[in-house]
Structure 1
Amino acid sequence: MKDVTPELIRAITPIFMATVGAVIGVTVLVSSNGNDKSAGLGLASTAIAGAAGLAQNSKNETDFSVKKQGDNLQVKAPANHDSD
């Protein structure tokens, strides 16, 4: 069995939530009771929207630039624009 890593969990969770939302949505649409359809579709859309939110890349990767001038290193980062 493949090792479960944090990256694998982050990749599978949105797929799982979207699948659950789709199953709830289809079940609500197929059901014969017309009174509770709005609540069921609201729950399904919430699950799908949550999956979409989790699927977005929220990693804030900063762009570092390192330049060598003689024996000195000059590092530029977004928070440190004027480093000497």
Structure 2
Amino acid sequence: MKPLIPEVIRAITPMFIATIGAVIAVAVIVSPNSKNNPAQLSSGFGLAGTAIAVPAGLAQSSKSESDFSVSKEGDKLNVSSPSSEPADG
């Protein structure tokens, strides 16, 4: 069995949580009690929707853009970022 490295765990977690949300949604739909109680039906769909929407935030790339820096020397501004040459403005 392949070891669970952090990248694999990070990739599987959103799918796992979305699956739980789908199971909750199906359980709400087939539950005989929810058809008589609209509040229970609404709260079940709300919980399922949240459980399905959370993975969208988790599935975002973990790589973030580096910050840039701005410094002022007299009347000149020096802007530097990792991807560009320092600029004067």
Q: TM-score, normalised by structure 2?
A: 0.68
Q: Which residue of 2 aligns with 1:37?
A: 41
Residue aligned with 1:82, SS: strand
SS in 2 for 1:39: helix
Q: How many residues align?
A: 70
2:64 to 56, 60, 63: 60
- Distance of 1:41 and 1:30 partners within structure 2: 12
Q: Quote the RMSD (CA, aligned, Å).
A: 2.2
Supply the AA of the counterpart residue of 1:23.
V
TM-score (norm: length of structure 1): 0.71
Q: Which amino acid aligns with 1:4?
A: L
Which residue type is aligned with residue 31 of structure 1?
S
Which residue is equivalent to 1:77?
82
Q: Tell me the CA shift for residue 3 of structure 1.
A: 0.6
Alpha-carbon distance in 2 for matches of 1:32, 1:81: 65
Structure 2, unpaired ranges of 5+: 67-80
> Identity, % of aligned pairs?
58
Q: Secondary structure at the match of 2:21?
A: helix
Question: What is the letter of the counterpart of residue 61 of structure 2?
Answer: N
Offset of residue 58 of structure 1: 3.9
- The whole-number CA distance in structure 2 between the counterparts of 1:31 and 1:47 is 18
Q: State the partner residue of 1:21.
A: 21
Give the distance between the partners of 2:46 and 2:85, measured in 1 at CA.
46
Give structure 1 regions of 4+ aligned residues with deviation exceeding 3 angstroms. none
The answer to which structure has the higher strand fraction is 2
Which blocks of at least 5 consecutive residues in structure 1 are unaligned?
63-75
